[in-house]
Amino acid sequence: MGKSKSTGTTLTLSKNALTVLEKRYLKRDKQGKVLEKPEDMFRRVATAIASAETRFDANAKVRDLAEKFYSIMVKFEFLPNSPTLMNAGRELGQLSACFVLPVGDSIDDIFDAVKYTALIHKSGGGTGFSFSRLRPAHDVVMSTTGISSGPISFMRVFDIATETIKQGGTRRGANMGILRVDHPDIMDFIMCKSDQKQLNNFNISVGLTEAFMKAVEKDEEYQLVNPRDGEPAGTLNAAKVFHRIVKQAWSNGEPGIVFLDRLNRDNPTPAVGQIESTNPCGEQPLLPYESCNLGSINLGTMVTDGQIDWERLREVVILAVRFLDNVIEVNNYPLPQIDEMTRANRKIGLGVMGWADMLIHLGIPYNSPEAIDLGEKVMRFINEEGHAASRDLAVERGPFPNFTGSIYDRPGAAPLRNATVTTIAPTGTISIIANASSGVEPLFAVSFVRQVLDNNVLVDVNPQFEKVARQKDFYSEGLMKRIAEHGTIHGIEEIPEAVRKVFVTAHDITPEVHIEMQAAFQRHTDNAVSKTVNFPNSATVEDVEKVFLLAYRQDCKGVTIYRDGSRDMQVLSTGKKEEQQVAHVAEEKKVVKRERPKALQGWTYQMQTGCGPIYITVNEDKAGLFELFTTMGKAGGCAASQCEAIGRMVSLAWRSGVQARQVIKQLMGISCHLPSGFGDNRVLSCADAVAKAIQAHMAAKGYDTGMEAQAPERGACPECGGIVEHEGGCAVCHVCGYSECA
């Protein structure tokens, strides 16, 4: 907690928020020492963004505006996207989160795009691509008289490049890959992530056309087109292709779908180009070489005495639009083409977070018609006020350069400063900083259990629910644990019915309500709405198909779904499985350590880590696994000593009767700053290497590990082992701020 001397504003941060800020946002020296407090970061950002005013008015009151920017940030009424918080006022100066790059149908074009991707990821941005221009696999390559390897093979090149670039140590690379549904390789694209072992730095979506969707409804054939020459390349049954998309999404959440014709229907500058792709989470359609900077208003702060404070909301919208337009001016773009295109269209994306919090403050259940209606009303207000603020800026500063010929260029219409104003983006890490619910998502859980590395089970409780529970005198730690075990507060009679109605969670809500809420916000959003439609594990393929069709009929621009448990292990537990997994640890029996015989049989495994090769020897006696030794390829040093310590502790555990799968469970997924390898061979740390070697040994010897191989990019957070929630089209850890979508 801190206080601004000039405004008297108190900055209150949750423990998780402080952890995220210290780990990812605050300035550090070369030794990694944190150099600024959270208040300093907000002051740095406010000053840097306000400095743009002097480009339009030499007499601008920069200090006064910086104070206003600072105030709305430390009150968590508004926060910009993460690159702005990280980089504003610093040497890097790259402030945008979203980029789209073109991928042309030549080796030069493809590898130019790979190079540009690396530069963007290094600067802290995420990238979207359409691979629809690439000729299909096995097609002719005239320059070499050879055959094409197709778009999916080149996607792997982008994926490996992304894995290699670590975005300055603060943000992971993330990509969106889109292929048109009429591309000849579409069936291979739909299945390209079916094994969850490749393209893990990509979200993928199929670009659907209106013609295709009409063919789906009529169960008709549709035409494939070879992008090399625009000639027909066969036909497929639309309904069967759609069903394959649905079934694969049901299986593991990908691919998503985007409605390309709708993106271009609302393309503000059609004369400049066609929209082919979006940013990694799908909410920001962009032209090639375009970028967009985003920011979100915290709706939970806009309720006073049980009523929405519309006037304060208007004031924050006006400040936020000015803030985001200023970002365009002071931004240091990673490529000159991006600089030119971004300044020509000046797209900004003002969205919201804390929607579920606002509803709770108002006593309105998320899954009620009243909530749907209010969502549309709130977003209409933000969109209209945002456009009014953009028109005022156009009077003051001039319209965006490509205004002539845009969809706004009509007789008598007032010009806008920005080609787009509103976007509903996921707010994974900034909502942690603000201690707010994410985007327009419902609460993920009221209370949940989390197992940490020492096998302790912690119970996390939603702060608003805890406050209500204490006010209404039904709070107890036992009840909070029961809620976590139960997975919902519904059916727990000691909780008042009125409270149960308001505190609904993602899995208390039908998929249809998710879509209705998305559609309500989409009707008054320039760009698109990033939202995850959550399904229970028991949902059928037909349930998913129904929602995809509903999204199409409700005029959404895209859909991302997630069926609970359809990807690898989840640490978030809303039932008793976690207890069952650790219950036997508490057995009270005398442990007798096995004595070491003079000779043992052993097997040695080489694993590549970021610190170099490590050699892991597993020895067995007649009773089974007995001891483990490690040798680092680089002698001495901290890594070697830590690995020796791990070996000694594993050996002691085995000789004392601890099962091998418990050792694997504790070590698997621990991450350090130097991971190594890709896909199945990815090793996150020396501890992770030990776990993987033990697992490989047990598999080779025919032991039952009681667990399947786990991909740390899914489920448990690979950085802290914390909670990973699927929301806003992404997976986000609410403990350390890790996001698989940057």
Q: Write out pLDDT tens, residues 235-294.
A: 999 999 999 999 999 999 999 999 999 999 999 999 999 999 999 999 999 999 999 999
Q: Which residues contact 494 (CB under 8 A, 6 or more apart)?
A: 474, 479
pLDDT at 200 over 50: yes
Mean pLDDT estimate for the chain: 87
For residue 107, count other CB atoms closer than 10 A to its CB: 12
Q: Which residues contact 25 (CB under 8 A, 6 or more apart)?
A: 41, 82, 85, 86, 170, 433
Determine the Cα–Cα distance for residues 525 and 281; give it in Å rounded to an integer: 16
Q: Write out pLDDT tens, residues 27-46.
A: 999 888 999 999 999 999 99
Greater confidence, 692 or 384? 384
CATH fold, domain 14-94+292-432, is Anaerobic Ribonucleotide-triphosphate Reductase Large Chain (3.20.70)
Average pLDDT over residues 614-618: 90
pLDDT at 575 over 60: no
Give yes or no: 279 in active site: yes
pLDDT at 4 over 90: no
Determine the Cα–Cα distance for residues 532 and 729; give it in Å rounded to an integer: 5
Q: Which of 382-391, 605-614, 627-636 has the highest mean pLDDT?
A: 382-391
Average pLDDT over residues 132-144: 87
Question: What percent of the chain clears pLDDT 70, i.e. is strictly above it?
Answer: 87
Contact between residue 127 and residue 117 where contact means Cβ atoms under 8 Å apart: yes
pLDDT at 80 over 90: yes
Say which range, 124-133, 241-250, 481-490, 712-721, has the weakest mean pLDDT.
712-721
For residue 108, the model assigns a pLDDT of 96
Average pLDDT over residues 9-25: 86
Determine the Cα–Cα distance for residues 81 and 98; give it in Å rounded to an integer: 10
Determine the Cα–Cα distance for residues 211 and 230; give it in Å rounded to an integer: 17
Say which range, 356-365, 369-378, 433-442, 669-678, has the weakest mean pLDDT.
669-678
Contact between residue 697 and residue 618 where contact means Cβ atoms under 8 Å apart: yes
For residue 171, the model assigns a pLDDT of 57
Query: Confidence band (pLDDT; 50, 70, 90) for 226?
Result: very high
For residue 164, the model assigns a pLDDT of 83
Greater confidence, 586 or 194? 194
Contact between residue 205 and residue 263 where contact means Cβ atoms under 8 Å apart: no
Determine the Cα–Cα distance for residues 234 and 241; give it in Å rounded to an integer: 14
Query: Confidence band (pLDDT; 50, 70, 90) for 634?
Result: low
Average pLDDT over residues 682-709: 78
Q: Which residues contact 445 (CB under 8 A, 6 or more apart)?
A: 462, 484, 487, 505, 506, 572, 574
Q: Which of 128-137, 528-537, 638-647 has the highest mean pLDDT?
A: 128-137
| SS3 state of residue 671 | coil
For residue 396, count other CB atoms closer than 10 A to its CB: 12
Determine the Cα–Cα distance for residues 599 and 195; give it in Å rounded to an integer: 42
Average pLDDT over residues 414-419: 97
Query: Confidence band (pLDDT; 50, 70, 90) for 722?
Result: low
Q: Which stretch of DSSP H or E encloses residue 336?
A: helix 336-345
For residue 289, the model assigns a pLDDT of 98
Say which range, 192-201, 460-469, 722-731, has the weakest mean pLDDT.
722-731
**Pairing mode, strands 277-278 and 10-11:** unpaired
Query: Confidence band (pLDDT; 50, 70, 90) for 650?
Result: very high
Furthest C-alpha separation in the chain:
94
Q: Which residues contact 566 (CB under 8 A, 6 or more apart)?
A: 250, 251, 252, 253, 537
For residue 556, the model assigns a pLDDT of 98
For residue 594, the model assigns a pLDDT of 77
What tokens does 594 get? Answer: 């096995």
Contact between residue 162 and residue 114 where contact means Cβ atoms under 8 Å apart: no
For residue 166, the model assigns a pLDDT of 60
Query: Residue length, the chain?
Result: 742
Phi-psi region of 14 (alpha: psi -120 to 50; beta: other; left: phi over 0): beta
Q: Write out pLDDT tens, residues 425-458.
A: 999 889 989 999 999 999 988 887 654 444 455 6
What tokens does 452 get? Answer: 């940490």
Q: Which of 53, 254, 283, 441 is catalytic?
A: 283
Determine the Cα–Cα distance for residues 186 and 207; give it in Å rounded to an integer: 10
Give yes or no: 588 in active site: no
Phi and psi at 255, nearest 5°, equal -80, 160
Q: Write out pLDDT tens, residues 366-380.
A: 999 999 999 999 999
Q: Identify the DSSP state of 407.
A: T
pLDDT at 409 over 80: yes
For residue 447, the model assigns a pLDDT of 83
pLDDT at 302 over 90: yes
Determine the Cα–Cα distance for residues 610 and 678; give it in Å rounded to an integer: 12
Burial class (CB in 10 A: 0-12, 13-18, 19+), 641: exposed
| SS3 state of residue 654 | helix
Query: Which amino acid, one-letter code, is at 662?
Result: Q
For residue 725, the model assigns a pLDDT of 75
Greater confidence, 456 or 314? 314
Query: Confidence band (pLDDT; 50, 70, 90) for 573?
Result: very low
Give yes or no: 192 in active site: no
Q: Which of 163, 192, 254, 281 is catalytic?
A: 281
Determine the Cα–Cα distance for residues 162 and 79; give it in Å rounded to an integer: 27
Query: Confidence band (pLDDT; 50, 70, 90) for 488?
Result: confident
If you search the block for the tokens 């005013």, which residue do you land on? 53
Q: Which of 87, 279, 326, 367 is catalytic?
A: 279
Average pLDDT over residues 456-468: 80
Query: Confidence band (pLDDT; 50, 70, 90) for 482?
Result: confident
Determine the Cα–Cα distance for residues 251 and 567; give it in Å rounded to an integer: 8
Closest CA to 378 of 400, 402, 397, 352: 352
Q: Write out pLDDT tens, residues 82-130.
A: 999 999 999 999 999 989 999 999 999 999 999 999 999 988 889 999 9
Q: Please tell me the number of Cα atoms within 13 Å of 462 on its side-chain side.
A: 25
pLDDT at 5 over 80: no
Q: Write out pLDDT tens, residues 48-77.
A: 999 999 999 999 999 999 999 999 999 999
Phi and psi at 387, nearest 5°, equal -65, -40
Query: Confidence band (pLDDT; 50, 70, 90) for 734?
Result: low
